[in-house]
C-alpha cells in the first residue's frame, strides 16, 4: 500500500540577496536556474504521485524566498500541483518586493498564511543582519497581505543581536504586536557552520551572549503571553486557534514529504534529504526516478523515541507521562527546580525549562 502523505514542504532556493547568517540551501535569483528548478520540481511531484498517496492538507513553501520569483514563475510553480486544495498553505515572503501584485496572486491561488521574514525593525539591526527592507516596507507588506485577503499572517523575528538588550528587544516585540499578526516566530540568532556570521566569530568581530539570549527568551514569553499569544512551541507564539498546523503535525511525529533542493522527508520510518545544489537536484529529478539524495536512513525505535521526547518537550502539549516511565525521580527533580510541571497525565516544560530543553531531553532519554 502506498504511504498516505498529508504534510508537504516545498523548498524554493532563490533569494534576491544572501544574508550572512543563513545556512539554508539558496542562491541568487537567476532566470535559467529558476526554470530548471521548476522542471525538477514537476518531475519530483510526478514521482511522488506514483509512489505515494498524496492528500495535501498542510503545505508549507519555504526557502530561500518563494516570493522572490516573478509573477509568471510563481504562476508556473502554483500550477505544478493542487497545493491550494489543502486546509493550510503557508508561503514565506520577504518584506522587500512583496506588494499587492504578488499578495493577490498568492491569495487567488489559495494561500491561507503568509510568513514574513521581518527579523527586526531598527535600521541598525536590519543592517547588521544584512537585510534590505525597512520598517516602512514591513508595514506595506503586511498591508498588502491583508488587502489581498490572505487570512493569516506570521512575523519572523530574530533576537540576540549586538547592542540588543531587554529594552531594545521589547520595542521590537511591541512594533511586531502593533501590526496585529496572528502568529510570531522568535528565534535566537544561531551561528551556523560555514556562514559569514561564523567567520565573524572566528575573526573575533562578534560573539554570542547566551546570558542575554536567555533574558530575551524569557522576556519574549512574558510580553507575548501578556498580548494574548500562547507559546505553543519554544520559538512559536500564536493567538488562539492560529497555530501553524504544518509545524504541529511534524512536531507530533506525522510523516511529511519535502520537495526541492535540500528538502528533508520522513516517510514510513525512512528519512532522506535531497541534494542541496539546485542544478544537481533538478538534473537528477529529471533523470529519475527521484532527486539525488545526500542522506538517507532507516530510523529505529530508539531514534524515534528520542526525537519524540525532544520535540514534545519543546511544545506546550508536552509528553504523556507514560512515555517517560522509569524517569519518575527526574520528573520530580525537574518540577522542584521549576523547569517542568505535570498536568493531566502529561509532563510539560515551563519557560525556564524550555531554555534547557536539550539538557532535559538528555536526562529523559
Query: Which residues bind to ligand SF4, rule: CB under 6 A?
Result: 15, 18-19, 22, 24, 26, 63-65, 94, 117
Which residues, at least 6 apart from 100, have a Cβ–Cβ distance to it below 8 Å? 144, 147, 148
The C-alpha cell that represents 191 in the structure block? 551561528
Q: Which residue is nearest to ligand SF4 (CB)?
A: 22
Cα–Cα distance list, 135 to 124, 132, 141, 171, 225 (Å): 11, 10, 10, 13, 24
CB of 273 to ligand SF4, least distance (A): 17
Comparing CB distances to ligand SF4, the nearer of 22 and 351 is: 22
- Which residue, 6 or 96, is less far from ligand SF4 as judged by CB? 96
Judged by beta carbon, residue 118 or residue 361, the one nearer ligand SF4 is 118
27-28 and 14-15 beta bridge pairing: parallel
Q: Other CB atoms closer than 10 Å to residue 103's CB: what's the count?
A: 24
* Shortest Å distance, C-beta 10 to ligand SF4: 14
Closer to ligand SF4 by Cβ: residue 64 or 181: 64
Residues whose CB is less than 8 angstroms from the CB of residue 9 and which lie 6 or more positions away in sequence, other chains included: 59, 60, 62, 246, 256, 257, 258, 259, 263, 264
Task: Look at residue 81 and give its three-state secondary structure.
Answer: coil
Helices 71-78, 100-109: crossing angle, 10 deg rounding: 10
Least gap, CB of 183 to ligand SF4 (angstroms): 18
End-to-end CA distance of the chain: 33
Residue 244 or 361 with smaller CB distance to ligand SF4: 244
Amino acid at each position: 500500500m502506498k504511504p498516505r502523505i498529508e504534510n508537504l514542504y516545498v523548498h524554493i532556493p532563490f533569494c534576491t540577496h544572501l544574508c550572512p547568517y543563513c545556512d539554508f540551501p539558496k542562491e541568487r535569483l537567476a532566470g535559467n536556474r529558476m526554470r530548471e528548478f521548476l522542471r525538477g520540481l514537476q518531475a519530483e511531484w510526478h514521482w511522488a504521485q506514483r509512489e505515494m498517496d498524496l492528500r495535501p492538507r498542510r503545505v508549507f513553501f519555504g526557502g530561500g524566498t518563494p516570493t522572490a520569483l516573478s509573477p509568471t514563475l510563481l504562476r508556473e510553480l502554483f500550477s505544478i500541483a493542487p497545493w491550494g486544495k489543502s486546509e493550510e498553505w503557508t508561503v514565506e515572503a520577504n518584506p522587500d518586493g512583496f506588494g499587492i501584485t504578488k499578495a493577490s496572486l498568492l491569495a487567488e491561488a489559495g494561500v491561507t498564511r503568509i510568513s514574513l521574514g521581518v527579523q527586526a525593525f531598527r535600521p541598525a539591526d536590519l543592517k547588521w543582519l544584512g537585510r534590505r527592507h525597512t520598517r516602512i516596507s514591513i508595514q506595506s507588506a503586511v498591508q498588502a497581505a491583508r488587502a489581498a485577503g490572505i487570512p493569516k499572517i506570521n512575523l519572523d523575528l530574530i533576537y540576540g543581536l549586538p547592542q540588543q538588550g531587554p529594552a531594545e528587544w521589547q520595542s521590537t516585540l511591541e512594533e511586531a504586536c502593533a501590526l496585529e499578526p496572528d502568529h510570531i516566530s522568535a528565534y535566537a540568532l544561531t551561528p551556523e557552520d560555514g556562514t559569514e556570521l561564523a567567520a565573524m566569530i572566528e575573526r573575533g568581530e562578534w560573539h554570542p551572549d547566551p546570558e542575554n539570549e536567555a533574558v530575551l527568551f524569557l522576556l519574549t514569553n512574558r510580553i507575548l503571553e501578556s498580548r494574548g499569544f500562547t507559546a505553543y512551541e519554544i520559538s512559536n507564539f500564536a493567538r488562539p486557534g492560529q497555530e501553524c498546523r504544518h509545524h504541529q503535525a511534524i512536531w507530533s511525529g506525522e510523516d511529511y514529504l519535502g520537495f526541492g533542493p535540500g528538502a528533508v522527508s520522513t516517510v514510513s520510518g525512512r528519512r532522506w534529504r535531497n541534494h542541496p545544489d539546485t542544478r544537481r537536484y533538478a538534473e537528477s529529478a529529471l533523470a529519475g526516478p527521484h532527486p539525488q539524495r545526500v542522506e538517507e536512513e532507516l530510523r529505529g525505535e530508539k531514534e524515534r523515541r528520542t526525537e519524540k521526547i525532544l520535540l514534545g518537550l519543546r511544545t506546550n502539549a508536552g509528553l504523556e507521562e507514560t512515555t517517560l516511565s522509569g524517569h519518575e525521580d527526574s520528573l520530580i527533580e525537574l518540577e522542584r527546580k521549576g523547569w517542568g510541571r505535570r498536568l493531566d497525565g502529561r509532563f510539560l516544560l515551563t519557560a525556564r525549562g524550555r531554555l534547557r530543553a536539550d539538557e532535559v531531553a538528555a536526562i529523559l532519554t
